[in-house]
């Protein structure tokens, strides 16, 4: 989108995308009475091209291009019904809105809705992905004030199951009734009763909120099997960590053995954290969406029945608390392993420092011995050098005597011994001083 007449600076490349996100998933306009068939499937490993290929099987949309699915939202008009396709991070939703079939009105009892599906035969079963939610929602126009007659008909329409029901909206603009049962067909069933004159837009919003509520509830519960799977791992890891801590305190096992055990334990816990951190975070997000959708319903109770939110809260919140507690337990275990590792590392560092100190002391003693030995050797060296110098003087005196000089070689050599010793010692000392000055 380019701003006109240069009234504004150039648009950011994502401005139009971010601005239009508020209009990205508009609710359907539903003309009452109607039947909404809803299927949500996991889309892991399923590409848009595969979903587009399946949508092309609908009449009149054989030329549908994959580019039409890039915005993650698409509404298709087909003969006698409309279909809304929505792709989310983990799942894709298909909502089919058609007129309420004959014989399925509010006075019917457990009508056969599958016999009246308007999509091509086998199309629903061929949706790529794995089903997470499937709902058939019948929406009627009938008075709901007082609510008892409409509730009795809705209960009869659903069958012999215990139902939950709510009046929705600040002014009780509709009634929602369901039993939350999975029928043999694989679908849940919901009944929505709206008073005459309900607008198509409002009916679309009501259907969207109820369908999203159930979908997000099921997505939030995906972490519950994960929690049950990792519970034994957590219990065993906590037991091992307690044993390692006791061994670390008692010094009954070598540091290397403790370190190997601790590394193995930390690896298992970190792997479990990496594998499940996204699932726990997603569960928190879905749970928040469930709470938001419940608030948007603005429910009012009907005497003698539980409201939808009351029923769901009693069953969903304990599961969410279990998931949250497991996530905290996993994080706490990781922190405890880190603290134990730090303690073991400290003990190893102290032991290494003591070994280094002992080695340094041995090196110091060796250096002292080497210095004493060097001093002894130097003393012997002075004596040896002096001996050779005196010998040279003696030979020189004997040579002079043989040449006729009046010299006593032995007396001369003996007289020069102190001087030679001093000169050799002095020369050695100067050499040491020069070496020390250079270093």
pLDDT in tens, 403-434: 777 878 778 777 878 887 788 778 877 877 77
In this structure, what token pair is assigned to residue 229?
């799977």
Token reading at 360: 């340094």
Q: Within this chain, do residues 296 and 420 fall inside the same structural domain, yes or no? A: no
Torsion, Cα of 122, 123, 129, 132 (10° steps): -80
| Residue at 417 is within a domain | yes
- pLDDT confidence of residue 3: 47
Helix axes 308-402, 409-438, angle to 10 degrees: 160
Residues 34 and 180 placed together within one structural domain of the fold: yes
Whether the per-residue pLDDT at 289 is higher than 50: the answer is: yes
Of the residues 172, 191, 215, the one at which a domain ends: 215
Residue 278 belongs to a domain = yes
Instruction: Return d(Cα 104, Cα 111) in angstroms, integer.
Output: 6
pLDDT at 408: 83
Q: What is the CA radius of gyration of the chain?
A: 46
Q: In angstroms, rounded to a whole number, what is the distance separating the alpha carbons of residues 378 and 429?
A: 10
Q: Rounded CA gap, 150 and 168, in Å?
A: 14
Same domain, 341 and 376: no
Residue 78 pLDDT class (50, 70, 90 cuts): very high
Q: Give the Cα separation of 209 and 296 in Å (integer).
A: 8
Q: Which residues contact 37 (CB under 8 A, 6 or more apart)?
A: 95, 96, 98, 113, 117, 119, 124, 135, 136, 137, 187
Residues 146, 174 within the same domain:
yes
For helices 200-220 and 308-402, give the axis angle rounded to 10 degrees.
50
Sheet holding 174-178, edge to edge: 73-78, 81-87, 91-99, 34-42, 130-141, 188-194, 174-178, 164-168, 299-300
pLDDT at 156 over 60: yes
Together in a domain, 350 and 373 = no
Residue finishing a domain among 168, 196, 215: 215
Residue 399's domain comprises: 368-431
202 versus 351: the higher-pLDDT residue is: 202
Q: 242 and 118 in one domain?
A: no
On the question of pLDDT at 353 being above 80, the answer is: no
Q: Prior bond to 33 cis, omega within 30?
A: yes
Determine the Cα–Cα distance for residues 356 and 362; give it in Å rounded to an integer. 10
* CA dist 432 → 199, 203, 282, 425 (Å): 108, 104, 77, 11
What pLDDT is recorded for position 417?
80
Residue range 190-209: mean pLDDT, rounded = 94
Work out the average pLDDT over 389-406. Answer: 79
- pLDDT score, position 214: 95
The pLDDT value recorded for residue 259 is 79
**Domain final position from 215, 244, 260:** 215
Phi/psi for 13 (5° steps) reads -55, -25
Model pLDDT, residue 247: 79
Q: What phi and psi values does residue 178 have, to the nearest 5 degrees?
A: -155, 165
* Same domain, yes or no: 388 and 417: yes
Residue 146: cis peptide before it, omega within 30 degrees of 0: yes
283 part of a folded domain = yes
Residues 309 and 187 in one domain: no
CB 194 within 8 A of CB 141: yes
Residues in the chain, how many? 439
Say what percent of the chain tops pLDDT 70.
Answer: 94
Q: What is the mean pLDDT of residues 320-328?
A: 92
pLDDT, the chain, mean: 86
- Which backbone phi and psi does 137 adopt, to 5 degrees? -115, 120
In a domain, 436, yes or no: no
- The alpha carbon dihedral of 133, 136, 142, 147 has a sign of negative
pLDDT band at residue 337, thresholds of 50, 70 and 90? confident
Q: Are residues 66 and 188 in the same domain?
A: yes
The pLDDT of residue 378: 67
Residues 343 and 229 in one domain: yes
Mean pLDDT of 278-300: 92
Residue 5 has pLDDT above 60, yes or no: no
- The tally of domains found in the chain comes to 3
Please report which confidence band the pLDDT of residue 1 belongs to, taking 50, 70 and 90 as the band edges. very low
* CB atoms closer than 10 angstroms to residue 307: 20
Least confident of 24-38, 167-181, 390-404: 390-404
Tokens for 126, please give them: 């061929």
Residue 23: per-residue pLDDT: 64
Is 127 in the same domain as 100? yes
Q: What is the pLDDT of residue 352?
A: 73
Query: Does the pLDDT value for residue 47 go beyond 70?
Result: yes
The pTM for the full model equals: 0.76
Domain shared by 34 and 113, yes or no: yes
Other C-beta atoms closer than 10 Å to the C-beta of 2 total: 8
């Amino acid at each position: 989108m380019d701003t006109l007449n240069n009234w504004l600076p150039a648009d950011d490349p994502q401005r139009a995308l971010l601005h239009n996100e508020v209009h990205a998933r508009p609710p359907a306009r539903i003309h009452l009475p109607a039947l909404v068939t809803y299927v949500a499937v996991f889309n892991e490993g399923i590409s848009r091209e595969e979903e587009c290929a399946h949508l092309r099987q609908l009449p009149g949309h054989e030329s549908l291009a994959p580019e039409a699915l890039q915005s993650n939202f698409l509404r298709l008009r087909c003969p006698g019904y409309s279909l809304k396709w929505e792709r989310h991070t983990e799942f894709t939703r298909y909502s089919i809105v058609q007129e309420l079939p004959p014989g399925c009105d509010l006075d019917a009892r457990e009508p056969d809705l599958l016999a009246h599906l308007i999509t091509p035969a086998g199309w629903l079963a061929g949706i790529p992905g794995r089903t997470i939610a499937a709902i058939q929602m019948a929406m009627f126009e009938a008075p709901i004030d007082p609510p008892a007659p409409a509730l009795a008909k809705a209960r009869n329409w659903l069958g012999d199951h215990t139902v939950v029901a709510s009046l929705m909206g600040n002014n009780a603009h509709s009634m929602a009734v369901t039993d939350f049962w999975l029928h043999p067909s694989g679908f849940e069933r919901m009944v929505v009763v709206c008073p005459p004159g309900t607008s198509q837009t409002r009916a679309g919003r009501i259907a969207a909120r109820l369908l999203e509520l159930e979908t997000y509830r099921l997505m939030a519960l995906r972490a519950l099997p994960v929690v049950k799977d990792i519970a034994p791992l957590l219990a065993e890891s906590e037991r091992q960590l307690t044993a390692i801590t006791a061994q670390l305190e008692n010094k009954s096992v070598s540091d290397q053995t403790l370190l190997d055990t601790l590394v193995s334990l930390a690896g298992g816990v970190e792997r479990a954290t990496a594998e499940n951190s996204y699932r726990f975070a997603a569960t928190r997000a879905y749970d928040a969406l469930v709470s938001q959708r419940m608030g948007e319903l603005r429910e009012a109770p009907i005497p003698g029945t539980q409201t939808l939110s009351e029923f769901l809260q009693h069953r969903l919140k304990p599961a969410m608390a279990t998931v949250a507690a497991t996530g905290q337990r996993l994080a706490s275990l990781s922190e405890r392993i880190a603290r134990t590792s730090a303690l073991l590392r400290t003990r190893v560092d102290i032991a290494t420092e003591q070994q280094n100190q002992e080695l340094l002391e041995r090196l110091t003693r060796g250096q002292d011995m080497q210095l004493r030995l060097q001093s002894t050797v130097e003393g012997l060296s002075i004596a040896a050098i002096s001996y050779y110098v005196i010998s040279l003087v003696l030979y020189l005196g004997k040579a002079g005597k043989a040449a006729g000089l009046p010299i006593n070689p032995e007396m001369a050599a003996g007289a020069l011994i102190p001087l030679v010793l001093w000169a050799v010692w002095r020369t050695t000392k100067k050499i040491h001083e020069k070496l020390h000055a250079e270093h």
